[in-house]
Amino acid sequence: MESPKSLLQPSDCALLMVDYQAGLAFGVESVSRQTVLHNAIALARTATVFGVPVIVSTSASKVYSGPLFPSLQAVLPQLKPIERRNMNVWEDDNARSAVLAAGRKRLLVAGLLTEACVSFPVLSALEAGLEVFVVADACGGLTPEGHQFALRRMETAGARLTSWLQVLLEFQRDWTRHETYDGARAIVESNGGGYGMGLAYARDMIHAV
């Protein structure tokens, strides 16, 4: 059995994405809404490239929150979000069953809003015995303070904080892994900021030689 300090392996992980909907994004003040969505898309693309099961849940989509962001749905075209009524994904039988059915011991979680629909299932999944990683830069909170307080509470309870780019690099680990090289590199180049620009530059320079 892997220790809690061991690196993430795609075969050990499932990804839970919660409430990426416009009605909830309106309330995000901890970070740019565009940044959160940008990072969520990169995370979803990462899961797809590495074959990590993805569970997506939405709430109040017909009443207030609206559908899953179309740009995120486009990355996961075959995936139907699990609609629920309560704030805690873990208290919804269908959503919880979908997470457990993935059969993975490590759960990556990201979504909106950090103070509620992210932190509640994280705390519940920890209590249920899963090892949980919160992809913090793909989460948005109502306030910068509330976002940080929620992250601290989850971390104190045993969750581990990470970023979407660390997840990708941890999965890839070696750029000579050809089966995921092209997909992983494309994500970094399009979503990885200056690091992605550097990869694109290096590629072009090598080809130019």
The C-alpha atoms of residue 152 and residue 158 are separated, in whole angstroms, by 10
Q: Beta-strand (E) ranges in the chain?
A: 13-18, 54-59, 82-84, 106-111, 131-135, 160-162
Separation CA 209–CA 166 (nearest Å): 31
Contact 143, 27 (CB under 8 A): no
Q: Which amino acid is at 97?
A: S
Buried b (16+ CB within 10 A) or exposed e, 167-185: bbbbbbeeeeeeebeebbb
Backbone angles phi, psi at 85, to 5 degrees: -105, -30
Catalogue the active-site residues: 117
Reduced to 3 states (helix: H, G, I; strand: E, B; else coil), residue 20 is coil
Cβ neighbours around 48 below 10 Å, total? 16
Rounded to whole angstroms, the Cα distance separating 68 from 81 reads: 8
